[in-house]
Amino acid sequence: MKIIYVDLDGVVADFDRGKKEHPLGNITPYIGRPDKLPGVYENLDPVEDSIESVNKLLNHPDFDVYFLSTAPWDNPDAWTHKRLWVVKYFEEKLIRKRLILCHHKHLMIGDYLIDDRRFNGASEFQGKWIHFGSEEYPNWKSVLKYLNIG
């Protein structure tokens, strides 16, 4: 089995849209720090095709899937909200205890990391970094194609 890590924001959860639609988005001290917006991680919409695609991975016998996300240190509620978000959109038995929150993704051992940003160790990941949203992997369709999943 291949170990595959899936980032949340910008890959599975639509953080960009969530921060734009948040009522405090244009108010100090949240300008430039959307990660501190109260409750912003709680009600994010899924990224297009993300739920179906991750479910394909979760149900695939060749992949051992974990969510690997960074929760803002200065927004402790975000840690709780990410835990609640994954059970809102995925069948709990498939993802139970498969949420890893950390700032050092390069320390995780595995084969693939699907992540939209290079930060928090993503670009130094020892396996293959699938740069979600890049020209090579612009969307979930291209990611599944790369992983040979129809």
Which residues are catalytic, by number?
Answer: 7, 9
Measured from the CB atom, is 106 or 117 closer to Mg ion?
A: 117
**Which of 4, 5, 6, 9 contacts Mg ion by CB under 5 A?**
9
Contact 26, 116 (CB under 8 A): no
Q: Which residue is nearest to Mg ion (CB)?
A: 10
Cα separation, 121 vs 69, in Å, equals 11
Measured from the CB atom, is 7 or 35 closer to Mg ion?
A: 7
**Which of 10, 72, 110, 127 contacts Mg ion by CB under 5 A?**
10
Residues 11-40 that bind Mg ion (CB under 5 A): none
Residues 77-136 that bind Mg ion (CB under 5 A): 116-117
Cα separation, 140 vs 12, in Å, equals 9
Measured from the CB atom, is 90 or 131 closer to Mg ion?
A: 131
Contacts (Cβ under 8 Å, ≥6 apart) of 75: 35, 36, 37, 41
Bridge partner residues of 2 (DSSP): 63
* Shortest distance (Å) from residue 126 CB to Mg ion: 19
Q: What tokens were used for 25? A: 């988005």
Residue ranges of E strands in the chain: 2-6, 63-69, 99-101, 112-115, 128-131
**Which of 7, 40, 75, 82 contacts Mg ion by CB under 5 A?**
7
* Shortest distance (Å) from residue 134 CB to Mg ion: 12
- Count of residues engaged in binding Mg ion, rule: CB under 5 A: 5
Q: What tokens were used for 94? A: 């498939």
- Contact residues for Mg ion (CB under 5 A)? 7, 9-10, 116-117
